[in-house]
């Protein structure tokens, strides 16, 4: 990349600022600094977008992992029809595009000095900071469910070893066993995700362990794409999936991980494989930076994604309060691109501009059977607003050919979005 | 500092398209090479057909005609 300013220009710029002894306003800087925390769908997409649209901006991405493991499509891995290696993306593409990568964990943020400090003691100053840390689990919400318990009752809600663990436990289970999925109260990342997972586990059971059953212990009454999922379950998996909604005490309040027992208000269930998806909140660094509010999530200006709690700090992706935009990879990617463009405008002395955004989530009911839900949003008011008459789900009762077409489109979407984020 | 077209209103509106459309894909069609007018016609056709089954029908229903024109002019010009 020869568009990035070379080291000498940058150093000369810094020297000029220092010798004058005054802090130049960011918009006068020829090469302002943007620091991004978190190299997931939000952070990586924002970093890539800066390289495309604002070559003058220096972008530093801090991320502890050496490679990213994507959650979308990880339910296919659990169902046994996809290899986990297809979920992994190296950061070499971002490096090649001119993003400075720091493999470390952001530990402290000082908004007064505009500094991020890492676990290894590296200090980075920013003109604008973007946080895309994703989610953290609220470990004490379900009695008995902590990080150790998650070895026996995997959440598999951050992809990687947890995904493989759940897949292995399913493979090790005897035919005739019982699998449970515990679904937390909203908001959680990927609203249709638990039901896609239920479908693909049922697909695995049907093919390999047909006497087995799957129970969904749900904190929610209604869920994303419910009529589509329920029709698919009737058609594809009759007698396999049973669901206890929140109003019938479906919510899991306590577990005994060693014996794989789940407790609701009224019932106690011993199962062979337990997938416990815990309640969630914004990633830890958002709380350290004091950009999360009492809900556990981060309020933002809907146009710029700048935190309403801290100036010059933008938050994107799952960590935000962006409803009705869901916590999805599609949303995180788009928010990353929009946020980068707005920051580039601001740093060039231009006002940010409201726009129209969209989201689409594909879900698999079986490897050749998918449907989608989408939404279109305006951000010119105080918050995001769904555009009336737009969006919605794939038609109910459609032919198999449409489900197959959307299954193939979903694959293209995954290819596209990971290419945009990771190069 | 002069503003690049990539920071324009049209570019922001078009940001969601690149989440799905990528050169070389087949199930989601390649939209490079469509002229601005052909692109506008394709987008309007999805919008007008309110019972259409595809994702594009549901998405385009949320855009005003001036927005579709801006998107078509921006993306259509890139493909040429
Ligand atoms: C089973 C499942 C299926 C899904 N399927 C879909 C789907 O089909 N379609 C869809 O659109 N979405 C899907 N999602 C949702 C999608 O995975 C998330 O919405 C998306 O990953 C959010 O991106 P993000 O950037 O906010 O967070 P993440 O992608 O989680 O990235 C956060 C990154 O930040 C890093 N990080 C955290 N804290 C720090 C720190 N202090 N310092 C440095 N780095 C830090 C982490 O290591 C991580 O790499 C699915 C999710 C699950 C669980």
Select from A54, A61, A63 the least CA-distant residue to A26. Answer: A54
Using the atom order of ligand 1, give the atom closest to the CA of residue A362.
8
- Cα Rg for chain B, rounded, in angstroms? 13
Q: Over range A128-157, report the average pLDDT.
A: 98
Residues A351-368: tens digit of each pLDDT? 999 999 999 999 999 999
Q: H or E stretch including A175?
A: none
Using the atom order of ligand 1, give the atom closest to the CA of residue A197.
1
Q: Over range B63-70, report the average pLDDT.
A: 98
Q: Which of B13, B28, B67 sits opposite A412 (nearest CB)?
A: B28
**If 0-12 CB within 10 Å is exposed, 13-18 middle and 19+ buried, where does residue A389 land?**
exposed
A52 has a pLDDT exceeding 80: yes
Half-sphere exposure of A205 (CA within 13 A, CB side): 31
Q: Using an 8 Å Cβ cutoff, are B62 and B8 in contact?
A: no
DSSP B13-76: HHTTGGGT--TT-SSSPP-TT--HHHHHHHHHHHHH-TT--SHHHHHHTTS-HHHHHHHHHHHH
Q: Over range A383-411, report the average pLDDT.
A: 97
A74 close to ligand 1 (CB < 6 Angstrom): yes
A98 has a pLDDT exceeding 90: yes
B78 band by pLDDT with thresholds 50, 70 and 90 = confident
Average pLDDT in chain A: 93
Question: At residue A62, what are phi and psi to the nearest 5 degrees?
Answer: -110, 125
Q: Where are the domains of chain B?
A: 3-78
Residues A248-265: tens digit of each pLDDT? 999 999 999 999 999 999
A262 DSSP β-pair partners? A255, A269
Query: What is the pLDDT at residue B79?
Result: 63
Query: What is the pLDDT at residue A17?
Result: 35
Contact B7 A344 (CB under 8 A): yes
- Is B35's Cβ below 8 Å from some Cβ in A? no
Chain B nearest-CA distance from A53, in A, is 6
- Is B28's Cβ below 8 Å from some Cβ in A? yes
How far apart are alpha carbons A44 and A25 in whole angstroms? Answer: 27
- What percent of chain A shows pLDDT beyond 70? 93
Q: Over range A234-247, report the average pLDDT.
A: 97
Residue A317 alpha carbon to ligand 1 centre in Å = 8
Q: Using an 8 Å Cβ cutoff, are A68 and A89 in contact?
A: yes
B24 band by pLDDT with thresholds 50, 70 and 90 = confident
Strands A213-218 and A369-378: unpaired
Candidates B30, B59, B62, B78, partner chain A, best to mutate (most A CBs within 10 A):
B62
Query: What is the pLDDT at residue B3?
Result: 63
A366 DSSP β-pair partners? A369
Query: What is the pLDDT at residue B23?
Result: 87
Residue A267 alpha carbon to ligand 1 centre in Å = 33
Least reliable range by pLDDT among A6-10, A55-59, A128-132, A385-389: A6-10
A62 DSSP β-pair partners? A37, A102
Query: What is the pLDDT at residue A6?
Result: 37
A140 band by pLDDT with thresholds 50, 70 and 90 = confident
Contact A341 B13 (CB under 8 A): no
Query: What is the pLDDT at residue A4?
Result: 39
Residue A249 Ramachandran class (φ > 0 left, ψ -120 to 50 alpha, else beta): left
Note the pTM of the prediction, 2 decimals. Answer: 0.94
A27 has a pLDDT exceeding 50: no
Contacts of A408 in chain B (CB under 8 A): 26-27
3-state secondary structure of A224: coil
A37 DSSP β-pair partners? A62, A131
Q: Which of B7, B11, B28 sits opposite A409 (nearest CB)?
A: B28
A332 close to ligand 1 (CB < 6 Angstrom): yes
Q: Two tokens at A293?
A: 């509010």
CATH architecture entry for B3-78: Orthogonal Bundle (1.10)
A329 band by pLDDT with thresholds 50, 70 and 90 = very high
ipTM at complex level: 0.96
Average pLDDT in chain B: 93
Query: What is the pLDDT at residue A30?
Result: 84
Candidates A54, A329, A343, A355, partner chain B, best to mutate (most B CBs within 10 A):
A355
DSSP A97-155: TT-EEE-S-EEEEETTTTEEEETT--EEE-SEEEE---EEE-TTSSBT-STTHHHHS--
A236 has a pLDDT exceeding 80: yes
How far apart are alpha carbons A127 and A27 in whole angstroms? Answer: 9
Query: What is the pLDDT at residue A285?
Result: 98
A382 band by pLDDT with thresholds 50, 70 and 90 = confident
Q: Which of B20, B21, B62 sits opposite A376 (nearest CB)?
A: B62
A10 band by pLDDT with thresholds 50, 70 and 90 = very low
Q: Two tokens at A196?
A: 């896609």
Q: Which of B12, B59, B62 sits opposite A341 (nearest CB)?
A: B12
Q: Over range A166-175, report the average pLDDT.
A: 98
A24 has a pLDDT exceeding 70: no
A29 has a pLDDT exceeding 90: no
Q: Using an 8 Å Cβ cutoff, are A135 and A191 in contact?
A: no
B12 has a pLDDT exceeding 80: yes
Residues A270-310: tens digit of each pLDDT? 999 999 999 999 999 999 999 999 999 999 999 999 999 99
């Amino acid at each position: 990349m020869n568009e990035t300013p070379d080291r000498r220009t940058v150093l000369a710029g810094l020297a000029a600022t220092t010798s004058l002894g005054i802090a130049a306003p960011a918009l006068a800087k020829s090469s302002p600094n943007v620091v991004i925390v978190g190299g997931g769908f939000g952070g990586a997409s924002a970093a890539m977008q800066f390289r495309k649209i604002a070559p003058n901006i220096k972008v530093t991405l801090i991320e502890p992992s050496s490679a990213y493991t994507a959650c979308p499509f990880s339910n296919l891995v659990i169902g046994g029809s996809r290899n986990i290696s297809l979920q992994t993306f190296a950061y070499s593409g971002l490096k090649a595009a001119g993003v400075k990568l720091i493999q470390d964990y952001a530990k402290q943020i000082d908004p007064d000095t505009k500094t991020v400090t890492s676990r290894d003691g590296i200090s980075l100053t920013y003109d604008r900071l973007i946080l895309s840390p994703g989610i953290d689990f609220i470990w004490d919400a379900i009695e008995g469910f902590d990080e150790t318990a998650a070895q026996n009752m995997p959440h598999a809600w951050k992809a990687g070893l947890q995904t493989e663990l759940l897949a292995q436990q399913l493979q090790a289970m005897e035919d005739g066993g019982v699998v449970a999925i515990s679904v937390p109260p909203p908001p959680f990342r990927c609203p249709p995700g638990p039901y896609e997972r239920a479908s693909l586990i049922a697909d695995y059971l049907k093919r390999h362990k047909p006497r087995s059953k799957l129970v969904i212990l749900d904190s929610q009454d209604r869920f994303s794409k419910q009529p589509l999922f329920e029709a698919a379950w009737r058609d594809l998996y009759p007698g396999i999936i049973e669901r206890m909604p929140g109003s019938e005490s479906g919510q899991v309040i306590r577990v005994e991980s060693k014996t794989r027992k789940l407790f609701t208000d009224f019932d106690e269930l011993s199962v062979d494989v337990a997938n416990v998806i815990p309640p969630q909140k914004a990633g830890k660094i958002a709380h350290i930076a004091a950009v999360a509010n009492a809900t556990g999530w981060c309020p933002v200006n809907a146009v710029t994604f700048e935190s309403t709690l801290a100036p010059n700090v933008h938050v994107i992706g799952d960590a935000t309060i962006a409803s009705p935009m869901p916590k999805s990879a599609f949303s995180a990617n788009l928010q990353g691109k929009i946020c980068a463009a707005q920051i580039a405008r601001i740093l060039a002395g231009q006002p940010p501009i409201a726009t129209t955004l969209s989201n689409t989530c594909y879900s698999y009911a079986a490897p050749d059977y998918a449907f989608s839900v989408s939404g279109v949003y305006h951000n010119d008011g105080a918050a995001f607003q769904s555009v009336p008459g737009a969006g919605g789900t794939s038609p109910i009762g459609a032919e198999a050919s449409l489900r197959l077409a959307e299954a193939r489109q979903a694959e293209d979407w995954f290819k596209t979005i990971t290419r945009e984020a990771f190069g | 500092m002069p503003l690049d077209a990539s920071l324009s209103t049209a570019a922001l509106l078009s940001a969601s398209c690149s989440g799905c459309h990528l050169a070389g894909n087949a199930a989601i069609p390649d939209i490079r090479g469509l002229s601005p007018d052909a692109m506008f016609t394709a987008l309007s056709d999805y919008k007008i057909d309110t019972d259409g089954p595809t994702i594009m029908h549901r998405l385009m229903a949320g855009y005003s005609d001036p927005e579709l024109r801006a998107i078509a002019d921006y993306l259509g010009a890139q493909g040429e």
